[in-house]
Structure formats: C-alpha cells, structure tokens
C-alpha cells in the first residue's frame, strides 16, 4: 500500500483539523490581535458579529465596500511535506503517514460588505473555515471540520438611557460543511472526493443575537461593560438533501473594556469571558485578554486567547486599511494541550460620511487609529450629551 504525500498535503491545504469551537469564522482580524476580547469594544460593523448593542455607538454613515481576509496555520506540516516530497516513490505507506501524526492545518478565507449608521447595520458575507488533523498512530484518523457560510445580517442598537444600550441582530445563513472523523480505509484510499461529497449539501438557518452595553464615562477615559448572547438557542441548518450539517451553538459572552484617549495615543485594554453557558469547557479557555495601542496611522495589539498569546498590527491608509494578526487556538480540552498557531491578514476599503451619533459619547470603548470614529466636537446626541473631543 503506497501513499502519495502530495495528495495528502493537498487534502491538508484545501480541506483542513478538528476543534471543539472556532471563533475565527466571523471574527475580525483586529479583534483576533487583541485576543478576541472584543464584546465591549465593538462600535462599528463588527458589532453585527460581536455585540449588536455596539451599533448604538456607530458614528456617521459608513460603507464597507469590501473586506477580504485570509489565513492559515500548519507551518510544521508544510515543512515536513517539503522535506519528504519526491522521496515517497516505493516507500511504505505506514512509514510516511507517521510523519504527519499530530499535525493540524487550518485555512480560512472570507469577504464581506457592510453598511452602518447610528443604531443600524446591514451586511452580506461569505466565510470559509477548514481544519484537518491527523492523529492516533495505532488507529489512524483524519478529523476534518469544514464550514462555509454565506448570508445576511441586519442589526439594531439603541441607547435606552445615557448609560445603557440594547441591541438585536437577525441572521439568515446558508451553510455547507462537515465535522467528520475519517478512518484507516479513507486514509488508505486517500480519495479527496470522499470529503467533497460530504460537503455537497447546503442547509438554511435563521438566528438572532442579543446584546447590552453599559457605558461609564469619565473626564479622561470611559469604561464599557457588555453582555452578548449570540445565536440564541443555537442554529440548526435544514438541508433539502438530508445532509448532516454542523449546527451553530449559542454563546453567552461577558466583556469589559476601558478606553483612554489622548490627542497622540489611545489605549484600550479589554477582557472577555466567552462560552459562559458551556459547562464542558474549562474556565481558563473562556478567558480572553487584549489591548490595543492606537498611534497616528498605526495600531499595535496584543493579548491572550484560550491561553495562547496573540499579536496584531493595523495600518490606516485613508480609504484603505490593512490588519494582520497571529493567535493560538486550543485543539484539545485544556489550555497548553494542542496549540494551532494561526496567521491572518485583512484588507478593507471603507467610506465614511459625517460624524453624528445616537449617543454623542466621545469615547466608546474603542481605541486605535484605524477604527471608524472621528473627532466628535460637532456631533449631536439624542440625549444632549456633552460634546467632547474624540480622535478616532
């Protein structure tokens, strides 16, 4: 029995490893650089995926013409592939497959277009995340998880008092994918069609998110405390072909952020406690920490996600913005067991008009130079709030 290492790595790259949860599908690269601690920070179109209450803090009219992102992991697997490529002719299958035991590869791509204004947002998106992991040398298995979503999201967020915001968003999702363990017979045949057949069916799902944010203003900083319930009750996908499509679990997240904004630099530390309704996940995996330091034109980010460090950089070029990040995802049951180190980059073109808001707050818990906020010296508030200077 022979093994084509080229065919194996093609499956690794184009299909991809298994993990219990994956926040990458609808995560922003900016947030990932901050450890994905973003529930109390979101105040632009990212609120549609993190916390709809953040729409109450949107400033002006904003059109994200396009947003393209891509990422990958599995550098060690690629190096092994290069080192043995061309040497597998006549080699024993078992000897070669052992080179990849314990390896995991993730690939992700996505694109979206969004429109936001104070208290409202709408968007369309297409996101793909695929992961593959080879393990168990005694009984070889390839655990494959593939999710491809395209859909629409519409959200509303409103201040119900000068210090409290509420939000709701509605989602329509078309999904195809699989979360399957393939055994030795598949590995022996190494037929990618087996995987493609498992993701040939599409299902439709409907869901909604709820969110609330409490704003605590101060002369030199503001603090935000948020709770978001994403995918309330979970989302099941109904397929006309009867395909078993992975569902989307509900997730309750609580977060806090502080924004210190000066004319030269802004500093935004944040913390999130994710998956609070998942009793099977260890507490240390639920805590995400992050910080963003905003300088003119450049943002520097760092944090911890599921126990692993994150780092990010944002570059604002007017109509265009580039963000990059690296972060770790835990593929095992507890932090430190199996890290999947990922690298992502995002390119965005966005237009903005005006600076009016529904709240008039100059500091909405979101620092940095590459966000959507602007100077608030001329902004109006439905609450008649104090007009303070805002750099973003």
CB 291 within 8 A of CB 302: yes
More confident residue, 28 or 83: 28
Q: What is the pLDDT of residue 388?
A: 31
Q: What is the pLDDT of residue 243?
A: 76
Strand 141-161 relative to strand 320-330, pairing: unpaired
Q: What is the pLDDT of residue 310?
A: 97
**40-54, 209-223, 314-328: least confident range:** 209-223
Encoded tokens for 234: 């979970």
Secondary structure class of 308 (helix, strand, coil): strand
Sign of CA dihedral 72, 75, 80, 84: positive
Residue 264 makes CB contacts below 8 A (sequence gap 6+) with 295, 296
Is the per-residue pLDDT at 5 higher than 60? no
More confident residue, 380 or 257: 257
In eight-state DSSP terms, residue 60 is E
More confident residue, 367 or 40: 40
Is the per-residue pLDDT at 369 higher than 60? no
pLDDT digits (tens, 9 = 90+) for 326-358: 999 988 777 778 888 999 999 999 999 988 888
Instruction: Give me the chain's average pLDDT, please.
Output: 81
Largest CA distance in the chain: 78
In eight-state DSSP terms, residue 91 is -
- Chain-centroid distance of CA 16 in Å reads 17
pLDDT digits (tens, 9 = 90+) for 65-80: 999 999 988 767 666 6
Q: What is the pLDDT of residue 281?
A: 86
d(CA 327, CA 305): 7
More confident residue, 213 or 338: 213
State the pLDDT confidence band at 195, using cuts at 50, 70 and 90. Answer: low
Is the per-residue pLDDT at 111 higher than 80? yes
Give percent above pLDDT 90 in the chain: 50
Q: Which of 64, 30, 65 is nearest to 50 (CA)?
A: 30
d(CA 370, CA 90): 54
Q: Give the total residue count for the chain.
A: 392
Q: What is the pLDDT of residue 360?
A: 64
Q: What is the pLDDT of residue 374?
A: 38
Q: E strand or H helix at 196, and its extent?
A: helix 193-198
pLDDT digits (tens, 9 = 90+) for 115-135: 999 999 999 999 998 887 777
Q: What is the pLDDT of residue 98?
A: 62
d(CA 115, CA 166): 19
Please, what are the domains in the chain? 25-72+118-130+146-179+201-357 (2.40.160.60)
Give percent above pLDDT 70 in the chain: 73
pLDDT digits (tens, 9 = 90+) for 275-286: 999 988 888 889
pLDDT digits (tens, 9 = 90+) for 253-298: 999 999 998 889 999 999 999 999 998 888 888 999 999 999 999 9
pLDDT digits (tens, 9 = 90+) for 49-66: 999 999 999 999 999 999
Is the per-residue pLDDT at 20 higher than 50? no
């Amino acid at each position: 029995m022979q093994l084509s290492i080229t065919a194996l790595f093609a499956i690794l790259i184009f299909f991809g490893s298994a993990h219990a949860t994956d926040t990458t599908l609808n995560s922003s690269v900016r947030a990932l650089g901050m450890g994905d601690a973003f529930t109390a920070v979101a105040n632009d179109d990212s609120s549609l995926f993190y916390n709809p209450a953040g729409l109450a803090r949107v400033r002006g009219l904003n059109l994200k013409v396009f947003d393209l992102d891509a990422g990958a992991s599995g550098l060690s697997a690629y190096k092994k592939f290069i080192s043995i490529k061309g040497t597998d002719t006549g080699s024993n299958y078992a000897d070669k497959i052992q080179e990849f035991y314990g390896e995991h590869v993730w690939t992700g791509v996505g694109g979206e277009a969004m429109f936001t204004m104070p208290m409202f947002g709408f968007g369309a998106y297409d996101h793909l995340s695929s992961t593959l992991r080879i393990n168990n040398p005694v009984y070889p298995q390839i655990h494959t998880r593939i999710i491809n979503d395209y859909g629409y999201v519409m959200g509303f967020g409103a201040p119900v008092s000068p210090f409290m915001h509420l939000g709701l968003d509605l989602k329509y999702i078309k999904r195809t994918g699989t979360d399957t363990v393939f055994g030795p017979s598949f590995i022996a045949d190494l037929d990618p069609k087996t995987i493609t057949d498992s993701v040939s069916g599409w299902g439709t799902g409907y869901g909604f998110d709820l969110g609330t944010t409490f704003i605590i203003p101060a002369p030199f900083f503001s603090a935000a405390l948020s709770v978001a319930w994403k995918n309330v009750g979970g989302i099941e996908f109904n397929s006309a072909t009867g395909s078993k499509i992975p569902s989307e679990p509900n997730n309750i997240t609580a977060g806090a952020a502080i924004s210190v904004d000066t004319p030269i630099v802004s500093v935004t530390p944040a913390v999130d406690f994710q998956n609070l309704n998942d009793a099977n996940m260890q507490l240390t995996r639920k805590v995400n920490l992050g910080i963003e330091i905003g300088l003119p034109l450049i943002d520097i980010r760092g944090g911890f996600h599921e126990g692993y460090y994150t780092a990010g950089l944002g570059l604002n070029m007017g109509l265009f913005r580039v963000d990059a990040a690296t972060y770790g995802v835990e593929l095992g049951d507890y932090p430190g067991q199996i890290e999947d180190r990922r690298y992502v980059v995002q390119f965005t073109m966005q237009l903005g008009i005006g600076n009016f808001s529904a709240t008039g707050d100059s500091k909405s818990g979101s620092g940095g130079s590459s966000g959507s906020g602007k100077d608030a010296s001329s902004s109006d508030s439905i609450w008649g709030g104090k007009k303070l200077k805002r750099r973003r």
